[in-house]
Structure 1
Amino acid sequence: MKEDILQGNIKFLNLGDLMQLLGGNGSSGILRIMSPYAPEPGIIYFDNGNPINASCGMLSGLDALYSLFGWTDGDFEFTTTSVTSERVITKGRMGIILDGLKMLDEGRTERLGPVSMDSRTAKYSDAGAALPVIWGPLVDYMYVVDEEEFHDGDTILQEGRHGNWVWVVLEGVIDIIRETTSEPLTLFQIGNGSFVGSISSFLVRNHSRMYSAKAVGDVQLGVLDSQRLAQEYSKMSYEFKAFVMSLDRRLRHVTDRVVEYSTKQIDLDDYLRYSQKVIEQGDDEKRLFRVQHGKASLVQKTDDGFVPLAHLERDDFFGYIPFLDLGHEPEFASVLASKDLKIQTLNPDILQQEYDNISTTFKNFIDNIATCTHYSTKVLNNRQKELMT
């Protein structure tokens, strides 16, 4: 039975934004996109926030979905309903968004509609590639205790400075920047629903900020109740606490690698020195592991060679995470282990049950970390490609 309907204009909320919104809210239903430049609507079927099939003219599946990224003018309508369509699309949601935007930017996807640049994504990296904005799900105001305004160019966070405040973006766009030995490096931009600050911010005393954040135009932020978030964290199981902090560390690792590639200071041998392969990239691994002793490295193989992603140590997790898409193992990265590695095998379904029962704000925070990790990995891939050419 049909229930809720979300309607709008594709100029205001493009397909990438829509997919992040529906994915963050775990929505199931049918998205229809109507363009004055197409005789029939494009249709995407969603199950629990993930696209499972699509149709656009004579195209179907992933090809149809990618083609819809080129629809820059028209209206959309999302209806929540039980979906009976066959699961044809298996690629992760964030991977589709990033590849779809890249194909559009490179001219491999035909634009349908008047050519225009969305002002929110008009910023470019120093390599000349457009920086898409990472949007979060709808804001849960239950944890917002105050609001703050920043203006174009204002510094919200400074990398290396101590701070425990955490915000959610209510309105506007923010540059996420890492400092390098030469000049600041803009990794990506975040918009409405995304979080400013890390989970470590409200858990670790005298926490050092992992990046800088600057306002792009006027920005309105919601100050989150750090004490309430910390109290919720304290009630989680030991395994889930370790999992959350492991996610936080992995994002830091990946952005560190981006800086190292940008300054040509990467030491690839440090990641390839382990000979034991616990997970092979592309494996159909359905287990989740926690490191109890020893070390491991997370490495991705691309057409241009190996890309180091992260070091894994005690209490770090790796393997199959059914409710998050990091763009890493098992599909897109391998795990290489030291000889003394000891791991605990966990049931990912039990972890998902706990994830499903946490507050909307904490869940959104975790999802946003995963999305930022996924996109930072794409940035890292581009840096490696530049270094090899």
Structure 2
Amino acid sequence: MGMQALIGARIFDGTEYHAGAALVLGGGQVAEICAEAAVPLGARITRLAGGLIAPGFVDAQVNGGGGVLLNDAPTATAMQQIADAHAAFGTTSLLPTLISDRPAAVTAAIAAAVQAVAAGQGVAGLHLEGPHLAPARKGTHLPAHLRPMTAADEAELMAAVAALPVLLLTVAPEQVSLAQVARLAAAGAVVCLGHTDCDMATAQRYFAAGARGVTHLFNAMSGLGHRAPGLVGAALDTGTAWGGIIADGAHVDPASLRIALRAKRGPGRLFLVTDAMSLVGTAGKSLTLDGRKIRRESVGGVSRLTLADGTLAGSDLDMASAVRFAAGPLEQGEAEALRMASLFPAQFLRLSDRGHLAPGARADLVYLDAAQRPMAVWRGGALFPAAKDLRGR
């Protein structure tokens, strides 16, 4: 792939803005950010009409998209269809997420992820959300699938860690021991606590053992009480802990998220996830999970996906919408909202070549208009979809 330069738009490199500059790409990577007059000779120039170039979004929790749900088809083809559906909303790297399922589905998803990652088209690894979760905090997970982690389960996960660049595991202390978490984390798995009623002291022990954070802060976990801080309190007060948040106005009240963002002790950060289901990128009104119908409805102008009993069941959120929500109702401003969608999740997942536009970074980009809506996306330096034409912009 020859050298190319994007000019005519502001550039946000993950830390600061650049005006009157060119983003130079080569070999699927960022070569440099330079003055427009200093673009290397021979580089193919694409002139943009304003807007903003930012690092492509990184989503650690994507159950589906484009009409495809991973649990229905744990294959590399399905993972690629999900990645392509979310690319339209600025997501250039994601973890296809398997909701608690039968052991055979877990095995199939691991094999599929290895194949999908090798293709290099947006699938960065795999997220197994369960099946080692607490029935008391099952959410939309089918109780019949929830179980303790066995030695055989651990051995399979250890092999998956060795085969994948990122394996994210959501587990509950009720179902997984401290020793198992310690071994998996030491091997390189990104272990998160979620769907659990554990108290703060238990959570702190699991963080000390190697758990890296929590899955969808506030949702399906012990809450923050004035005498019982729970997992929410542990996540906010433990500096090493990271936490995904679903910023859609349905899963968590915006005021609670604003408070959490102000309270979070670093260096761990709160970052955006979508927890998206198959309806993202479609006009569909419902889907089926484990034989149960999930409906898409609007309540007070806020879209949500629910089971018949009203339980929230994932979301129809896309990452660009989450960025707009973080910049606006969550009062984070554009730059921090973009970091919450790119730099922070990349750091959480230890994807050091993503989430920023420093030289040597993977050339994953999103081109946004003034309302933070994606106009174009590049994955590995290639415009997506390949047939898209930016001439005349």
TM tier, smaller: under 0.3
| TM, length-normalised to structure 1 | 0.25
Structure having greater relative contact order (Cα 8 Å, sep ≥ 6): 2
| TM, length-normalised to structure 2 | 0.25
